[in-house]
């Protein structure tokens, strides 16, 4: 039987690549739900092409346009985040791919888990903000959480068949972004256009800026803590500019397992949707004769302060990762709009952490309040 797929964030980079994967495997997957926030023109095109059961635009301002464009198709059209929360409980949905950007993906993921849906997780902020809560719900509802990030997919694959007690550490690889090797003086004046020029990956604006500042790798470290039950000291970051080794696991006997492949996000998406099977694909194969120069180096946490802040937040725990994530979303938006400098972003995030209320054991309502508090403080610190 085909697996019914809901794609939350279908017009973004991960969402569009997920549709490409499904196009290559029409006998295995059916699209039940598509959602987007603002890119309603592309959402209309996707809806007409795939004719899912439900289409949702989470920004209600676009509802009338979407409804009008799809009025001649057998598609249910809704608006708002509450509609997503309701629709993902549809019985025909087997897997919810969460590719919404940032904190917005948290509540739909929670509700999908409570509805017993397996999660293909492309929204790392969900575990950064509420890892303890998400893990508890997943266990209670017997739900699989399969990571879509290339690094976490690599770790997941390396650990298949292994005893978690045998792990000594995991090694998350980072490309280093567009500013690897640049000086602090250079970083003071970089533009959003420069920061959006990622050397290896084609991603959305927010995650690309996070990659340039290494915040993305910090978020991934926190996500890995919850996905794989790790301590902060069991997580290492290594810069690997070629992005061929997607991540590694070192075991207590000293051996290391690595997962390798072309830097193509369709590969971890394909794995997550097909799990626990490995379906054939036509994706590019790695040519080892062209991989003669794989290099590794340590990241510079002084130059890329966000990485150090992330580990500090992970060690302190409680609502600190939530506060950090909220502040980061605000400063990234400010940087993209020219209202904050590249090196100002970590400065503002640190001030938010110091100026916010710390909670050691937050519940969902506490996290909502922490997110709002951090955003208000961050906005007040932006010029």
**CA–CA gap between residue 287 and residue 243 (Å, rounded):** 14
Give the pLDDT score at 218. 96
Stated length of the chain = 383
**CA–CA gap between residue 10 and residue 43 (Å, rounded):** 7
Within the chain, strands assigned E span: 3-8, 29-36, 54-57, 76-79, 95-98, 118-121, 145-147, 167-174, 235-239, 245-251, 256-260
User: What residues contact 72, with CB distance under 8 A and at least 6 apart?
Assistant: none
Give the pLDDT score at 177. 86
Give the pLDDT score at 198. 79
Average pLDDT, whole number, for the chain? 94
Question: Which phi and psi angles does 281 have, rounded to 5°?
Answer: -145, 165
Condensed to tens digits (0 to 9), the pLDDT of residues 186-231 reads 999 999 999 998 777 667 788 899 999 999 999 999 999 999 999 9
SS3 251: strand
The strand pairing partners of 34, in sequence order, are 7, 55
Condensed to tens digits (0 to 9), the pLDDT of residues 110-156 reads 999 999 999 999 988 899 999 999 999 999 999 999 999 999 999 99
Compute and round to an integer the Cα radius of gyration of the chain.
Answer: 20
**CA–CA gap between residue 178 and residue 237 (Å, rounded):** 17
**CA–CA gap between residue 134 and residue 46 (Å, rounded):** 30
High-pLDDT (> 90) share of the chain, %: 91
8 A C-beta contact, residue 325 and residue 206? no
Condensed to tens digits (0 to 9), the pLDDT of residues 249-269 reads 999 999 999 999 999 999 999
Condensed to tens digits (0 to 9), the pLDDT of residues 34-74 reads 999 999 999 999 999 999 999 999 999 999 999 999 999 99
**CA–CA gap between residue 170 and residue 300 (Å, rounded):** 19
Q: Which fold has domain 3-147?
A: Rossmann fold (3.40.50)
What b/e sequence results for 130-149 when a residue is b if at least 16 CB atoms lie within 10 Å of its CB, and e otherwise?
A: bbebbbebbeeeebebbbbb
DSSP state of 128: H
Which residue reads 């490309």 in tokens? 175
Other C-beta atoms lying within 10 Å of the C-beta of residue 220: 29
DSSP state of 234: G
8 A C-beta contact, residue 31 and residue 7? yes
Q: Quick one: tokens of 330?
A: 């605000």
* Sign of CA pseudo-dihedral 90, 92, 98, 99: negative
**CA–CA gap between residue 39 and residue 50 (Å, rounded):** 17
Domain assignments of the chain as residue spans, ordered by start: 3-147, 152-262+299-316
**CA–CA gap between residue 60 and residue 63 (Å, rounded):** 5
The strand pairing partners of 120, in sequence order, are 97, 146
* DSSP string over 257-272: EEEE--S-THHHHHHH
**CA–CA gap between residue 231 and residue 235 (Å, rounded):** 7
Lowest mean pLDDT: which of 76-80, 292-296, 373-377? 292-296
């Amino acid at each position: 039987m085909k697996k019914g797929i809901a794609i939350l964030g279908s017009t973004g980079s991960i969402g569009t690549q997920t549709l490409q994967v499904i196009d290559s495997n029409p006998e295995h997957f059916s699209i039940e739900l598509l959602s987007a926030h603002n890119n309603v023109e592309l959402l209309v095109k996707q809806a007409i092409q795939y004719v899912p059961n439900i289409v949702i635009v989470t920004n209600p301002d676009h509802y009338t346009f979407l409804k009008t464009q799809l009025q001649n198709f057998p598609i249910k059209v809704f608006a708002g985040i509450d509609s997503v929360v309701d629709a993902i409980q549809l019985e025909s949905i087997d897997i919810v791919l969460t590719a919404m950007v940032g904190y917005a993906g948290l509540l739909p993921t929670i509700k999908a888990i409570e509805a017993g849906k397996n999660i293909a997780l492309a929204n790392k902020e969900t575990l950064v903000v509420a890892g303890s809560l998400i893990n508890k719900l997943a266990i209670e509802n017997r739900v699989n959480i399969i990571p879509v990030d290339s690094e976490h997919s690599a770790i997941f694959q390396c650990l298949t068949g292994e005893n978690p007690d045998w792990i000594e550490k995991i090694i998350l690889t980072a490309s280093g972004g567009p500013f690897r090797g640049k000086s602090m003086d250079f970083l003071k004046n970089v533009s959003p256009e420069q920061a959006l020029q990622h050397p290896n990956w084609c991603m959305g604006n927010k995650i690309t800026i996070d990659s340039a500042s290494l915040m993305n790798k910090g978020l991934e470290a926190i996500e890995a803590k919850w996905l794989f039950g790790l301590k902060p000291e069991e997580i290492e970051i290594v810069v690997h500019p070629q992005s061929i080794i997607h991540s590694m696991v070192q075991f207590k006997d000293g051996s290391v397992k690595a997962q390798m492949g072309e830097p193509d996000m369709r590969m971890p998406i394909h794995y997550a949707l097909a799990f626990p099977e490995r379906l054939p694909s036509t994706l590019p194969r790695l040519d080892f004769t062209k991989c003669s120069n794989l290099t590794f180096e340590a990241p510079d946490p002084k130059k890329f302060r966000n990485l150090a802040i992330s580990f500090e937040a992970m060690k302190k725990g409680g609502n600190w990762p939530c506060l950090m994530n909220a502040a980061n979303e605000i400063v990234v938006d400010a940087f993209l709009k020219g209202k904050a400098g590249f090196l100002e972003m970590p400065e503002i995030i640190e001030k938010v952490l110091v100026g916010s209320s710390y909670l050691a054991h937050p519940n969902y309502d506490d996290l909502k309040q922490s997110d709002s508090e951090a955003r208000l403080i961050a906005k007040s610190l932006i010029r």
